[in-house]
Structure 1
Amino acid sequence: MATPALSTVVQLEPGSSRDLEAVMEIMEAAFGSKYGEAWTRSQCAGILPMAGVWLQLAREQHTGNVVGFSLSRCVAGEAELLLLGVLPSRHRQGIGRQLLDHFTRRAAADGASRVHLEVRDGNPAVHMYRAAGFEPVGRRRKYYHAPDGQNFDALTFARTV
């Protein structure tokens, strides 16, 4: 399925710990607590200073508002997309795909030959990952633990770059 044109021009830019408030707002809106996927503020703050980790923001040019982000790391020739979130009001506008494409380009530029990601089974983003050439490579049973006691599998995907 074709991605609709962006209704607003979005610019990708590097983020830092100064952007954690916006990241956490998007994380809450995009992930919520229903499936146990969201990271805490301290988890995000703790990983940002580590070598090979980068935060990418999707910012509306006309308002300056952050509408999406990705958090990634590249170590020993492999890269992992740790988080990718877009405000639900901006879903299906190509923002997630822009962030995903940036991740794969940046990973290749940083020397990665393979990229990985993990996603909850049933997450609609699986379609975007498959369309970008990611192939399933594994399943982690009952990986995500929801507050209501439900467990959800994690699917692992990879592709070469």
Structure 2
Amino acid sequence: MMAPADDIDRIMAVMQAAFDPAYGEAWSRRQVEDALLVGNCHYRIAEVLEEPAGFTLSRYGFEEEELLLIAVSPDFRRRGIGETLLRDCKADAKLRGARQLLLEMRSDNLAVHLYRQSGFVEIGARKNYYRTPSGARLDAITFACPL
């Protein structure tokens, strides 16, 4: 089932504000729409005074949920929105039958503290997976959180 167009608009507004274009991590509108058409992808939007502040996009598969994207607009950071989105994503995943929540991120991502505080532990790495704006390569780190 496709998400309502205004929800996709909210997700895209946060995506454009939150992701540094130099890394190419932001998804296109089409990628978000296609993911949500599959049926096993789910999203949650956080709003502050009816303004989109953050979102999660995750995919459920046999007893696992993967957090594909989480973002908080820079104007709304450091207000607990990321923590709330993670907590709600974990609760939703558990209701769907997931036993763990997985995520992957750049090794230099400052959100690592949020993930660790939220119960995620490092379970793997992909060497030289991301490219920085200067051309340097960074590892991707895979985390898991038991539910």
Work out whether 1:52 is the aligned partner of 2:54.
Answer: no
Contact 1:36 1:144 in 2 (8 A): no
* Aligned counterparts, 1:39-118, within 5 A: 39-60=27-48, 63-118=49-104
Q: CA deviation at 1:99?
A: 0.5
C-alpha distance in 1, partners of 2:137/2:54? 26
Q: CA deviation at 1:150?
A: 3.8
Amino acid at match of 2:46: A
Contact 1:30 1:86 in 2 (8 A): yes
C-alpha distance in 2, partners of 1:76/1:17? 26
Q: 1:66 to 1:143 in 2, by over 3 A?
A: same
More helix by share: 2
Work out whether 1:131 is the aligned partner of 2:117.
Answer: yes
C-alpha distance in 2, partners of 1:131/1:107? 18
C-alpha distance in 2, partners of 1:45/1:156? 25
C-alpha distance in 1, partners of 2:4/2:56? 13
Amino acid at match of 1:66: P
Contact 1:72 1:83 in 2 (8 A): yes
Q: CA deviation at 1:147?
A: 5.9
Which of residues 3, 11, 14 is equivalent to 1:26?
A: 14
Query: Scaled by the length of structure 2, what TM-score is found?
Result: 0.90
Name the Cα RMSD after superposition.
1.7
Work out whether 1:16 is the aligned partner of 2:16.
Answer: no
Secondary structure class of the residue paired with 1:103:
helix
State, as a whole percentage, how many aligned pairs show the same letter.
40
Contact 1:57 1:70 in 2 (8 A): yes
Structure possessing the higher relative contact order (Cα contacts under 8 Å, 6 or more residues apart): 1
Q: 5+ residue gaps in structure 2? A: none
Q: CA deviation at 1:16?
A: 2.2
Contact 1:144 1:152 in 2 (8 A): yes
Q: CA deviation at 1:51?
A: 2.1
Aligned residues: 145
Contact 1:17 1:48 in 2 (8 A): no
C-alpha distance in 1, partners of 2:136/2:22? 9
